Amino acid sequence: MLTLVLVVVLVALVFEFINGFHDTANSIATVVATKVLSPGQAVVLAAGTNLIGAFWGTAVAKTIASGLIDTHVVDVTSQVILCALAGGITWNLITWWLGLPASSSHALVGGLCGAALAAAHNNWHALIWSQPAVEWTKSKGLLWKVVVPMVSSPIAGFLLGLLILSLLYAIIFALSRAGGALSRGARPRWVNAFFGKAQLVSAAYMGFAHGTNDAQKTMGVIALTLFGAQAAGTLDNLPAWLAFLHPSGGEQDIAGWIIATCALVMAAGTAAGGWRIIRTLGHKMVKLHPIDGFAAETASATILVTAAHFGMPVSTTHSISTAIMGVGFAKNPRALKLTVIERIVWAWILTIPAAGGIAYLFLKLFEVLGWA
């Protein structure tokens, strides 16, 4: 059983690595598309800022570890976690191959739900649907931590991207009307030069925000695995060199080694790149200039950082994609390529049920083979 726990931790880190080149591609697509940074430079920036962001709190990790699956109804064994990860990884690879910016966050959530449901023999009470609190930000369950953000974050991304770019355009228009030295600030060359530099800041902000949210999801999975193994007695009498596997406390604590390992693995995954998705986001939806990239990255990063503060595993994909759509709409509603957007939306709709279905089938296969 201990070997299985170690295998699950390893597979979780594989998921984190895949998340690095899958979702981080979303976070750096705009800065590459605007030609402010080369792909190599963008990857280095994203890897570094992801690493920093991953150490910035553990609220999302705690949601994954204790806020979605009712461990009183179903035993979250290593096999359950392994099948959940297999479902998420499989769907991530399918969408990556197709160049679709689907959500790794929702693939992981779907995988957890599907595997837990299979382990509970279709008892839907295994899933924590809603546990409201006096302060809604402290509510638990899929409704508050997944469904509400899944709907609201794309809307917020679109509106915030639209608002930020509209404000920037208004400032540039005011400068052009001011005359004299101020009017030079509205010239296209100056605007591109200024926002080319400003986008370095917004791209770093975006990478940091991605780390604050996405890196924590795998932290939560590893913590959930270790809590389950500890409850089952698997971690009793560990050899000294594996003593680090013991959780640092209750479910409110995420061990330091988990945080550091996930941060480093995600940074390594980022370095591997994800150019298929960058091409979809950065080039196929709408033509971007530095001012557009700045607006989209600032909008998306703000949503991610806010969600991470409240422990919501929000999709980087959703926030940056819709921010780009909002920016494109502000530029010219007709400039948006609706066929590409339609493919992306379908990937969003299918991710949780698809990853959940795959994880469900994996666990049923394990049961047939006598592995679970």
Q: Of 224, 221, 225, 212, which Cα lies nearest the Cα of 314?
A: 212
Q: Distance between CA atoms of 275 and 369, rounded to whole angstroms?
A: 38
Residue with tokens 């096999």: 79
pTM of the predicted model as reported, rounded to 2 decimal places = 0.86
**Contact at 8 Å (CB) between 59 and 216?**
yes
Where b means 16+ CB within 10 Å and e means fewer, 102-111 reads bbbbbbbbbb
Output the pLDDT for position 27: 66
Q: Give the residue extent of every domain in the chain.
A: 2-366
The pLDDT confidence band at residue 278, using thresholds 50, 70 and 90, is low
**Contact at 8 Å (CB) between 264 and 212?**
no
Q: Distance between CA atoms of 146 and 321, rounded to whole angstroms?
A: 18
Output the pLDDT for position 169: 92
Compute φ and ψ for 193, nearest 5 degrees: -65, -45
Q: Compute the chain's Rg from CA coordinates.
A: 21
**For 7-28, what is each residue's pLDDT tens digit?**
999 999 988 888 777 666 666 7
Q: Of 74, 71, 85, 214, which Cα lies nearest the Cα of 140?
A: 71
Output the pLDDT for position 181: 62
Kindly state the average pLDDT of the residues 128-133.
88
